Structure formats: structure tokens, C-alpha cells
């Protein structure tokens, strides 16, 4: 008898914890949105998203300042775009190397090393980027770029010590493990029979990749890119250390900027209650964007068929 | 094969194709090296710059003096990290594994699909947003502290534990299950005494990786744990410190003494996280054989 009642209890506990996960997500959305509502209401959603003035007030109870997220949204999209543009070719290259070129003795250790890259905390990326990588490696590159292409507003100098470019590159390094892990799974899922068919008609290895592996994997690569982009959008601490807290939309990537996430951690502790609400409104905006991208990416990757999914997590 | 090879070199078009093949393969090797380079640079620089400031005092002392001054250590950060990481593990691992059990054992429940999809989606929630959430839900009412910090880390761990545990539970052979049923065990007994023990090493691996990830998180702690200057053992109500918080604060400071501590802290945190990750993978690999 107790054993049978045990089954009922078991079912109940398991279902409850599953539903708890859903409830938590709902609570996350509800609690933050409710908290930020006065900000959206006083600023107007469209003005909040597109305006470029952030002038925090000091009230405890009402919203007296001007809160517009345009500058931070621009910085977020720009740094993440730089990261994706740089990270995707490299990640696809690594994934192709791992699935099509490397032998098992290279593959295992290389996968483990790239996993380690993903395990390093973002504050260490930030510290390393700020005090080593940016001043010693990236600065000469930035100066050369702005020297050669300085006429283009995007690359206009002088190169400031904190800038969008540095943040974008460090973000790129951080999302390589995510994109390459998913891309590799997608490539490995290509049936060997198709590769063999191409080899049988005389294709070289590169031709097999170009005409069999890559075309078949396109949705998966797009999904992986979007997941990487989503991760870059939400990445906080490394960017907060590197980007420098700019307050205007600048054309040049060698000038300081600001992202939504960085703005939140950089100003939270000195913000009055109304400004904290505004930061929460920023967070809600960031959440909405990343979740939309994530859901779309997962739908695309899932349509590829059932990958083992470990990399997607 | 040799005939095919000799045919290939005779045509110049074929030679071009072979050259392109070599070129592209070379580019792929470069891509792989390009990914390894930052890893070597990060670990190398952190060790080189962290070691000089790393000593017994750094591990066993706090510093509540000015950031300009040399000396002191991050003991309060280590204690805070382990305290909040432990709390997070206590919350997230049982809940995460039970949720994974729900996903694998009750596939026909109407909520299985949504739970799986949204725990996937939760892995993509920016960690800073998790901090804001705990802030609006709890910190506004009960203040900063260890518990709210730990809770925010738990929320970050949860979807990772769910995903990895589900993968592992799925790998448990059906024969084991059927043998258990044949002996008259009920569903819950089978899961508790057969399926979970069989999956245990994998569950440990996934949980350890999730803890490693949580220990490295900074952004949610800025909004929930806030800060502390000494070792804090209070469960809730007093600000708490953590290694990433201290590194973050001193990394942006202008003082070389503080930056030196930040590097030593980074070395300490990196060792903690990497050792956890490597040991976790080792446990997982040994089992899969």
C-alpha cells in the first residue's frame, strides 16, 4: 500500500518541481516588469527605447528624471555585432576542423580546451582584457586600423583607452566556445553517407565541406550565431570593465560606449530609488530582446532534428 | 587509388582544386589555433601576474583598509563565494534533478514540453537580469545578503542542472529499469534506487559544472550580495562579499596595489573554477568508460 502511495507522491513531487521552473520564469517576468512599470509609463515605451537622454533623478517615490535607453541599446547591439562578425567565421572554422579534419587524438583535447575557454568567469575576461589584452595586443591593432581607415567614421581616431572595439573583441572570444560547440554538433549530425557520396565522385575534403556539410548545416549555423549573439547582448561584467561608460551615440568604435547590461552594474550602487527602477526597466528591455532571440534560435536549431543538445544549453 | 592520384595531378584544374583544399584546410587549422591563443594568454597572464601577490596572507586575511595599500587578502571573498555557492547548490541541485526526473519519467504529461523548452530558454537569460529579479522580489523587502545572493546564483544554476541531468538520465539503459520492474519495484522505487544511482556520476558532473559556473558569476551579486569588507557569516541582512565582486571592484581601481590583489584573486577564482570543471569532466568520463 505504501509503495503505491509512493508512486502518487513521486508523480506529484516531480510535476511540482517541473512547474516550479515555469513559475519561476513567470515570476521573473512579472516581478521585474511590475517594478519598472512607472518608468515605462512616465517616459513612454517608444521614447524610452529610442531617446538618447539619461538624466537620473533622486526621488524616492516618483519618477522625476529622464530615462531613455537609446545610447545603451546602440552600444549593446554594436558590441554584440562586432563580436558575432568576428566569432562566427572562427567558430565555424574550428567546428569544421574538429568534425572534418582533426583525428580523434587532436579532437578530444581541443574540445576540452575550448570548453575551458567557456568555463573562465567573465570577470577574469574583464580583468585580463582591461589590464593586459587591450593595452598590449589590441591597442596597436586599433591604432593601425584608425591610421589606415581613419577617414571612415567607424574607424576614426584617436583610440581611447576604453572603447567599443575592445569590448566587442573580448565578447567575440567569450562567445566562440558557444557557437563552435553548436556548429560542431550540427556538422557531426550530417550523415556520413552523404560525405562518402561526395568523396566517391572525386570531391576534395574542402569540396565536401562546401557542397555537403555547410549547405546542410545552414539553419544550425544561423541558430548558433543567434545564440552567440544573445549571449553577447547579455554579457555584463567584461563589457562593464572595457567599454568606458560613454553617454552619446558615437560613430567610431574606438570611442567609449555603454551597453544596457554594463549601465546596470556600473550605476546601480549610486542610484536613487527612482533611478534603480529605471535600471530595472533597462533590464526588462534586455531580457525581452535576448529571450526573443533565444526562442527564435532554439526553434531554428530544433528544426534541424534532435541534436544531443548539450551544447545548446 | 594510385591511378586516381596520377589522373589528378595531370589536370591543372585538379591541381587548383587540390591547392584550394590545402589552403582551406590550413585556414581551419588557423581558426583552431586562434581559439586556443586567448586561452593560453588568459591562463598564462593570470598565473604570471597573480602569483607574486598570492601568498598565505592573501588566502587567510581580509582587507578593510584603503585600496591604495598593499597586503591583505580576499578571505572574505572566498568565504562569501563558498557560502553563496553552497546555498545555491543546496537549492538548485535537488530542484534541478527532480525537474529532470519529471522530464524523463513523465514524458506524456502536458507540461513536459513547456518545462523543457523554457528551461532551455532560461539558460539564455542574462545573469544581470536574474540579479534584478531577485532585487525586485526580495532585496527591496529583506535587504542585501548571503541568502539573496545565493538564490540568484541558484536561479542561474537551475537550468544548467536540469539540462545536463536530463541528458544523463536518458542514457540509463532500459534493461536496468525493466529488471527493476520485474522484481516488483514500483515506479518511484525504480527511479530512486535504480535509475538515479545508475546516473549518479553524470548527475554529479553536471551539478559540479553548474556550481563552477555560479562561482564565477559577478553581475547578479552586484545587485543582491552588494559587498562586505570582512568575513560575513550572517545568513541574510548584511552585505556579503565574493571573489568575483572583489576582483571587479579592484580591477577598475586606479591603484596598482588593488590591481595586484585583483590578479591574485583572479588566480584563486580561476583555480577554483577550472579545478571544479576538470574534476567534474573526469568523473563523467570515467563512468562513460
Residue-wise pLDDT tens digits, A1-36: 566 788 999 999 999 999 999 999 999 999 999 999
Residue B157's closest chain A neighbor by CA?
A313
Measured between CB atoms, does A89 come within 8 Å of chain B?
Answer: yes
Rg (CA), chain B: 25
Mean pLDDT of chain B: 91
The answer, yes or no, to whether residue B130 has pLDDT greater than 70, is yes
Measured between CB atoms, does B98 come within 8 Å of chain A?
Answer: yes
Site of grid cell 522580489: B137
- Read off the C-alpha cell for A259: 551597453
Do the interacting molecules here have an ipTM over 0.90? yes
| E strands present in chain A | 54-55, 66-67
CA atoms within a 13 Å half-sphere pointing along the CA-CB vector of A299 = 7
Residue A187's pLDDT is 94
Q: Between A and B, how many residue pairs show a Cβ–Cβ distance under 8 A?
A: 291
Residue A1's pLDDT is 52
CA distance B200 to chain A (A): 18
Q: Which residues of chain A have pLDDT under 70?
A: 1-3, 304-313
Mean pLDDT of B198-204: 94
- Read off the C-alpha cell for A18: 517541473
Residue B283's pLDDT is 86
Residue B179's pLDDT is 95
Contact state of B115 with A35 under an 8 Å Cβ cutoff = no
Q: Which of A11, A18, A177 sits opposite B103 (nearest CB)?
A: A18
Tell me which long-range contacts B37-41 makes (C-beta under 8 A, separation of at least 24).
B38/A117, B38/A133, B38/A173, B39/A113, B39/A114, B39/A116, B39/A117, B39/A120, B41/A128, B41/A132, B41/A133, B41/A137
Beta bridge partners of A54: A67
- Read off the C-alpha cell for B257: 596595489
The answer, yes or no, to whether residue B30 has pLDDT greater than 60, is yes
The answer, yes or no, to whether residue B181 has pLDDT greater than 60, is yes
Between helix B146-171 and helix B127-134 the angle, nearest 10°, is 130
Burial class (CB in 10 A: 0-12, 13-18, 19+), B185: middle
Between helix B256-288 and helix A104-119 the angle, nearest 10°, is 140
Peptide bond into A158 cis (omega under 30): yes
Chain B CB contacts of A133 under 8 Å are: 38, 41
Q: Is the pTM of this model over 0.90?
A: yes
The answer, yes or no, to whether residue B39 has pLDDT greater than 80, is yes
Mean pLDDT of B5-28: 80
Residue B2's pLDDT is 55
Chain B CB contacts of A13 under 8 Å are: 98
Q: What is the percentage of chain B residues whose pLDDT exceeds 70? A: 94
Separation CA A291–CA B285 (nearest Å): 33
Nearest to A173 by CA among A109, A286, A88, A254: A88
The answer, yes or no, to whether residue B286 has pLDDT greater than 70, is no
Measured between CB atoms, does B56 come within 8 Å of chain A?
Answer: no
Amino acid at each position: 500500500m505504501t509503495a503505491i502511495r509512493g508512486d502518487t507522491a513521486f508523480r506529484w513531487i516531480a510535476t511540482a518541481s517541473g512547474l516550479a521552473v515555469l513559475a519561476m520564469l513567470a515570476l521573473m517576468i512579472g516581478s521585474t516588469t511590475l517594478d519598472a512599470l512607472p518608468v515605462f509609463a512616465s517616459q513612454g515605451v517608444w521614447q524610452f527605447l529610442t531617446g538618447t537622454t539619461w538624466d537620473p533623478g533622486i526621488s524616492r517615490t516618483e519618477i522625476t528624471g529622464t530615462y531613455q535607453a537609446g545610447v545603451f541599446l546602440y552600444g549593446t547591439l554594436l558590441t554584440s555585432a562586432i563580436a558575432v562578425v568576428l566569432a562566427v567565421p572562427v567558430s565555424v572554422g574550428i567546428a569544421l576542423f574538429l568534425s572534418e579534419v582533426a583525428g580523434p587524438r587532436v579532437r578530444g583535447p581541443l574540445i576540452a580546451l575550448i570548453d575551458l575557454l567557456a568555463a573562465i568567469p567573465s570577470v577574469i575576461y574583464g580583468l585580463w582584457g582591461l589590464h593586459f589584452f587591450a593595452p598590449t595586443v589590441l591597442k596597436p591593432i586599433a591604432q593601425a586600423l584608425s591610421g589606415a581607415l581613419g577617414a571612415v567614421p567607424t574607424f576614426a581616431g584617436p583610440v581611447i583607452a576604453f572603447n567599443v572595439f575592445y569590448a566587442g573583441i573580448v565578447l567575440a572570444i567569450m562567445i566562440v566556445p558557444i557557437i563552435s560547440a553548436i556548429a560542431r554538433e550540427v556538422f557531426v549530425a550530417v550523415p556520413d553517407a552523404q560525405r562518402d557520396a561526395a568523396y566517391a565522385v572525386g570531391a576534395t575534403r574542402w569540396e565536401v565541406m562546401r557542397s555537403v556539410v555547410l549547405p546542410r548545416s545552414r539553419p544550425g549555423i544561423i541558430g548558433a550565431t543567434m545564440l552567440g549573439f544573445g549571449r553577447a547582448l547579455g554579457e555584463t561584467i567584461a563589457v562593464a570593465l572595457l567599454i568606458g561608460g560613454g553617454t552619446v551615440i558615437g560613430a567610431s568604435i574606438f570611442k567609449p560606449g555603454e551597453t544596457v547590461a554594463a549601465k546596470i552594474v556600473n550605476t546601480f550602487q549610486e542610484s536613487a530609488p527612482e533611478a534603480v527602477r529605471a535600471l530595472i526597466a533597462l533590464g526588462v528591455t534586455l531580457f525581452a530582446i535576448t529571450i526573443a532571440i533565444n526562442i527564435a534560435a532554439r526553434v531554428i536549431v530544433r528544426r534541424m532534428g534532435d541534436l544531443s543538445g548539450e551544447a545548446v544549453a | 587509388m594510385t591511378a586516381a592520384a596520377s589522373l589528378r595531378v595531370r589536370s591543372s584544374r585538379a591541381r587548383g582544386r587540390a591547392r584550394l583544399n590545402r589552403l582551406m584546410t590550413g585556414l581551419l587549422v588557423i581558426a583552431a589555433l586562434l581559439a586556443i591563443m586567448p586561452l593560453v594568454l588568459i591562463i598564462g597572464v593570470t598565473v604570471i601576474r597573480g602569483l607574486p601577490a598570492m601568498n598565505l596572507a592573501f588566502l587567510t586575511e581580509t582587507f578593510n583598509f584603503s585600496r591604495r595599500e598593499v597586503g591583505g587578502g580576499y578571505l572574505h571573498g572566498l568565504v562569501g563565494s563558498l557560502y553563496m555557492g553552497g546555498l545555491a547548490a543546496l537549492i538548485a541541485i535537488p530542484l534541478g534533478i527532480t525537474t529532470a526526473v519529471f522530464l524523463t519519467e513523465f514524458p506524456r504529461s502536458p507540461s513536459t514540453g513547456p518545462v523543457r523548452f523554457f528551461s532551455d530558454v532560461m539558460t539564455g537569460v542574462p545573469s544581470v537580469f536574474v540579479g534584478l529579479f531577485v532585487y525586485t522580489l526580495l532585496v527591496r523587502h529583506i535587504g542585501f545578503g548571503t541568502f539573496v545572493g545565493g538564490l540568484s546564483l541558484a536561479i542561474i544554476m537551475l537550468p544548467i542542472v536540469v539540462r545536463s541531468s536530463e541528458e544523463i538520465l536518458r542514457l540509463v539503459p532500459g534493461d536496468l529499469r525493466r529488471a527493476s520492474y520485474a522484481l516488483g519495484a514500483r515506479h518511484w522505487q525504480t527511479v530512486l534506487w535504480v535509475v538515479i544511482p545508475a546516473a549518479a556520476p553524470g548527475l554529479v558532473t553536471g551539478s559540479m559544472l553548474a556550481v563552477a559556473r555560479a562561482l564565477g558569476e559577478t553581475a547578479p551579486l552586484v545587485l543582491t550580495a552588494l559587498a562586505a569588507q570582512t568575513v560575513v557569516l550572517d545568513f541574510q541582512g548584511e552585505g556579503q562579499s565574493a571573489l568575483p565582486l572583489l576582483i571587479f571592484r579592484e580591477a577598475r581601481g586606479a591603484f596598482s596595489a588593488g590591481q595586484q590583489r585583483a590578479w591574485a584573486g583572479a588566480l584563486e577564482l580561476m583555480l577554483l573554477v577550472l579545478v571544479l570543471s576538470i574534476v567534474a569532466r573526469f568523473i563523467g568520463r570515467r563512468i562513460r568508460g
